[in-house]
Amino acid sequence: MRRLIVILMLSLIASSCNIDEVIEAEGGIPQIQLEPASGIFTAKVCRPITITPTYVNVDNSTIYAWSSNGEIVSSQPTYTFTPTTAEKVYLRLEVTNQYGSAKRDLRVDVVERDVAKLSLAGSAEGFTVAVGDILPLRPHVEACALPIKYSWSIDGEAVCAERDYDFAAASQGSYRLALSASTDDGTTEIAFDVRVVTAEEMPLGWHFEQTEYNVAFGRTILLQPFDIVGGEGAEYEWSIGAEIVSQSKAFEFSADRIGRYDVSVAMRRGAVSISQSLIVNVCAAEGEYRRTPTAASLAACNKVYELRVAPGQFINEYFEASTAEEACRKAEERIAREGYISLGGFGGYIVVGFDHSITATGGYDFAVRGNTFDGSSEPGIVYVMQDENGDGEPNDTWYELAGSETGKAETWRDYAVTYYRPTASGMSVEWRDNRGNSGVVEYLPTHHDQPSYYPQWIDTPSYTLRGTRLAERNYDDSGNGSHWVQPSYDWGYADNYSMQDGATDTQLNRFRIADAIDHAGRTVRLAYIDFVKVQTACNARSGWLGEQSTEVCGIYDCALLDE
């Protein structure tokens, strides 16, 4: 009896295994096959992508579930979606039938479309030219892997199929110009207005760095317009009250008494003229507002008053700011712990103050820490200011500190560069200078892939930075672009590897207030200072290293600095 039971049990077990084998052969758990097998797909922004797996062991009752971030996005065998931003999209596909489920994780790398990225310096403001004059239009086009077709049009009518175009009009009027650039991935366009006038109607234009000036009694300052437009053959007239005091383009102002002076200047060319009113406050003589250091005074600067950087690869990277005030506060926090502040390309600057006045000793009075080393100098010009009107703000007169390059023919004072906001993310920043040169601050996504190198806290379509420019010395030592050298300058510059600036720490450059000079290069005797400005001095690019940009990690009063 016991033997019969065992036989029956073995028979049942065998039959059960047979049933399982039959089921596996006829149906079974679903299988998901992908091409590519890795499950990693590539898509382009604003282009739909359809993922079409191949399935085994599925029928009309099979359930499909596509999910993203835990949320079901489709219940179909295939999944189609249109990405709107360049990012990595993670998906999970789960397929279920009566025998069980199968799962696969997928990734879609969404990249930008290969459309042409265009910019044209000055187009945001439009252009004005005289009848018959040529307006050369030279757009910057970011590198694109696909062939580009160009089309220029005037008031909707095609006129040119090249990238560059020379516009000229035989009659007055307003013209709407547009440039379109097309690839297989899409078309982009720039449109702007060109106003054509007679030579006599060409507008006059100029720019003043400020309209109110503060200067200590006994000192001379230079009042002058910059970026003059249409000034060929123009006449100038400077007046204080009703008295004409100068007919030069620039006016050296000095006064024999303390007080406010209302100054006006006019520029005339034929029947066209413009004028500007200025205020000069002649303040108390030097010493009235001096702040003597105390035992509690700090060696380091304690406030960032202004951070007006040039575009550069570190801008918008290590901190983000939407206003100038926010940028100053974040810079203040970084510099307090000796974190570097990048000033970007030429002209970018930082203005700092102290909790006391720094005394001029005739020797080294203050120091600026950079991140330089031998073969990597990115010099910054240093300026100093005294709080001449006593209001605690850096709104008085800046004096440049002379360095080893001062007075050389290749050193340019009153050099200015205008930077233009890119029209799309991931683009280089165009620039033009006041000597007819142009170029770009190159976008380097391999190392710095923030959307833009144009400062977020500057909300204008362009801005101009002005100062003293040093001739660049950088060169490619390898011959193939892999090793760039940025040699040092002898003395007198921040973020410069100098053995002559009096510091045992080569990343610390020391400065003498006694080296202060005025607009004409004359020595200015200052008994003390309250504010320091450091400004990138070169307009140069070192291949994959990017633009030369001065970095500042701290500014200190040498009398209180404990090395």
Angle CA(385)–CA(210)–CA(122) in degrees, nearest 5?
120
Same domain, 343 and 492: yes
pLDDT band at 7 (very low <50, low <70, confident <90, very high): very low
Model pLDDT for residues 453-469, shown as the tens digit of each residue = 999 999 999 999 999 99
Task: Return the closest-CA partner of residue 281 out of 383, 400, 413, 393.
Answer: 393
pLDDT at 11 over 90: no
Model pLDDT for residues 182-227, shown as the tens digit of each residue = 999 989 999 999 999 998 899 999 999 999 999 999 999 999 999 9
The overall longest dimension of the chain from CA atoms, in Å, is 137
Q: What is the mean pLDDT of residues 113-130?
A: 92
User: What pairs with residue 353 in β-bridges?
Assistant: 303, 531
As to burial, measured by CB atoms within 10 angstroms (0-12 exposed, 13-18 middle, 19+ buried), residue 68 is middle
The answer to whether 435 and 476 are in contact (CB under 8 A) is no
Residue 418: CB partners within 8 Å, gap ≥ 6? Answer: 121, 431, 432, 433, 462, 463, 464
The answer to whether 199 and 130 are in contact (CB under 8 A) is yes
Q: What CATH code is carried by the domain that includes residue 239? A: 2.60.40.10
Where is pLDDT greater, at 388 or 186? 388
The answer to whether 559 and 359 are in contact (CB under 8 A) is yes
- Letter for the amino acid at 110? V
Which uninterrupted H or E stretch holds 331?
Answer: helix 324-336
Asked whether residue 426 is domain-assigned, the answer is: yes
pLDDT at 470 over 90: yes
Q: How far apart, in whole angstroms, are the C-alpha atoms of residue 472 and residue 542? A: 10
Q: What is the mean pLDDT of residues 281-294?
A: 96
Task: Show which of 283, 312, 346 is a domain's final residue.
Answer: 283
Q: How far apart, in whole angstroms, are the C-alpha atoms of residue 432 and residue 442? A: 14
Same domain, 180 and 48: no
Same domain, 101 and 122: no
pLDDT at 520 over 70: yes
Please give the distance of CA 358 from its chain centroid, rounded to a whole number. 32
Same domain, 213 and 177: no
Q: What is the pLDDT of residue 26?
A: 47
pLDDT at 23 over 60: no
pLDDT at 231 over 80: yes
Model pLDDT for residues 402-413, shown as the tens digit of each residue = 999 999 999 999
Asked whether residue 15 is domain-assigned, the answer is: no
Same domain, 438 and 469: yes
Asked whether residue 296 is domain-assigned, the answer is: no
Q: What is the mean pLDDT of residues 108-114?
A: 88
pLDDT at 105 over 80: yes
Model pLDDT for residues 338-382, shown as the tens digit of each residue = 899 999 999 999 999 999 999 999 999 999 999 999 999 999 999
Long-range contacts of 175-179 (CB under 8 A, 24+ apart): 177/137, 177/152, 177/153, 178/152, 178/153, 179/118, 179/120, 179/137, 179/139, 179/150, 179/151, 179/152
Q: What is the pLDDT of residue 251?
A: 98
Asked whether residue 325 is domain-assigned, the answer is: yes
pLDDT band at 14 (very low <50, low <70, confident <90, very high): very low
Q: CA torsion 297→300→303→308, rounded to 10°? A: 160
Task: Show which of 173, 198, 223 is a domain's final residue.
Answer: 198
Asked whether residue 261 is domain-assigned, the answer is: yes
- Letter for the amino acid at 33? Q
User: What pairs with residue 517 in β-bridges?
Assistant: 400, 523
Asked whether residue 393 is domain-assigned, the answer is: yes
Percent of the chain having pLDDT more than 90?
Answer: 87
Q: What is the pLDDT of residue 113?
A: 83
pLDDT at 20 over 80: no
CA dist 430 → 293, 310, 421, 437, 455 (Å): 45, 11, 8, 11, 13
pLDDT at 451 over 50: yes
Percent of the chain having pLDDT more than 70?
Answer: 95
Q: Provide the token pair at 266.
A: 């006019």
Asked whether residue 1 is domain-assigned, the answer is: no
Q: What is the pLDDT of residue 563?
A: 52
Q: Provide the token pair at 123.
A: 């187009």
Task: Show which of 252, 283, 314 is a domain's final residue.
Answer: 283
pLDDT at 504 over 80: no
Angle CA(401)–CA(406)–CA(410) in degrees, nearest 5?
140
- Structural domain of 55: 27-111
Asked whether residue 12 is domain-assigned, the answer is: no
pLDDT band at 22 (very low <50, low <70, confident <90, very high): very low
Same domain, 194 and 216: no
Same domain, 308 and 342: yes
pLDDT at 430 over 80: yes
Question: How many domains does one find in the chain?
Answer: 4
Same domain, 41 and 160: no
127-131, 281-285, 505-509: which range is least confident on average? 505-509
pLDDT band at 6 (very low <50, low <70, confident <90, very high): very low
pLDDT band at 229 (very low <50, low <70, confident <90, very high): very high
Same domain, 105 and 125: no
Task: Return the closest-CA partner of residue 309 out of 277, 275, 272, 334.
Answer: 334
CA dist 521 → 141, 400, 406, 417 (Å): 41, 9, 9, 22
Same domain, 44 and 187: no
Same domain, 279 and 339: no
Same domain, 237 and 363: no
The answer to whether 66 and 74 are in contact (CB under 8 A) is yes
